Amino acid sequence: MGITFSYRHQEIVENSPSIVNIQQRWPALFDISQVKEEFRRLTAVELETSFMANLDKYTDALLSLFRTKGGNAGQQICEILNVLNQTSAVEKRRDVVIRCLIVYLSENTDNLIRHYQDTHVDLDELEQHTLRIITKGGSMDDPLQNGIVLEGIEVLTGLACALLLGLIYAINLSYPKELRYTFEFFQKILLELDSGKLSPKIHSL
């Protein structure tokens, strides 16, 4: 994958192939380790390490800020924060911070994350998602599973937000307009890429 990087990236940027075509042409690109490597080739940044370390670094300050939010957004944030009264797991804490961040930025969590009670999701349901993180299960008998859906295809499972950002870079996708501030935070604050140019909303945050 390292040897073919330049050719592959040029092909993806110039031809904008579908996800199906990319999967057929470069199947290894949808392996978790290769998503991280491709992101490093493109940015010289370690994807998972940087994303998680900075998310944890800012968590306490963000939680304090979120609790000051009023109005309808504040009520939504309070409901999300209630999860922390039930568990202290690091993974759940990260999930709560990201969900609260989306609401705080006046965006909609449903535009990024969709939960399904059943671990089996019908194909016609997946086809409704152009770019989405899906979570499945979550009961005692069905541990919570994360997946990433692009153009109606579940392409990856794992550390969803970080890997989704890695795929966006690797496949040269645009950020969803309805989540532009959330992804700006991911890119410029958590991954410290192009962080000198912040929108007024992210700068104030």
| ∠ CA 8-13-19, rounded to 5° | 75
Q: What band does 134 get if pLDDT is binned at 50, 70 and 90?
A: confident
- Please write the tens of the pLDDT for every residue from 156-199: 876 678 899 999 999 999 999 999 999 999 999 999 998 888 99
- Give the whole-number percent of the chain exceeding pLDDT 70: 94
Report the distance separating Cα 5 and Cα 17, nearest Å. Answer: 16
Spatial strand order in the sheet of 153-157: 113-116, 131-136, 145-150, 153-157
Angle between helix 5-15 and helix 32-43 axes, rounded to 10 deg = 90
Report the distance separating Cα 123 and Cα 136, nearest Å. Answer: 14
Calculate the alpha carbon distances from 152 to 43, 62, 103, 145, 146 in Å.
27, 33, 25, 17, 15
Q: What value does the mean pLDDT of the chain take?
A: 88
Q: What band does 54 get if pLDDT is binned at 50, 70 and 90?
A: very high
Q: Note the pTM of the prediction, 2 decimals.
A: 0.87
Number of domains the chain contains: 1
User: Poorest-confidence range of 59-63, 71-75, 127-131, 190-194?
Assistant: 127-131
Domain that holds residue 78: 5-204
Report the distance separating Cα 68 and Cα 66, nearest Å. Answer: 5
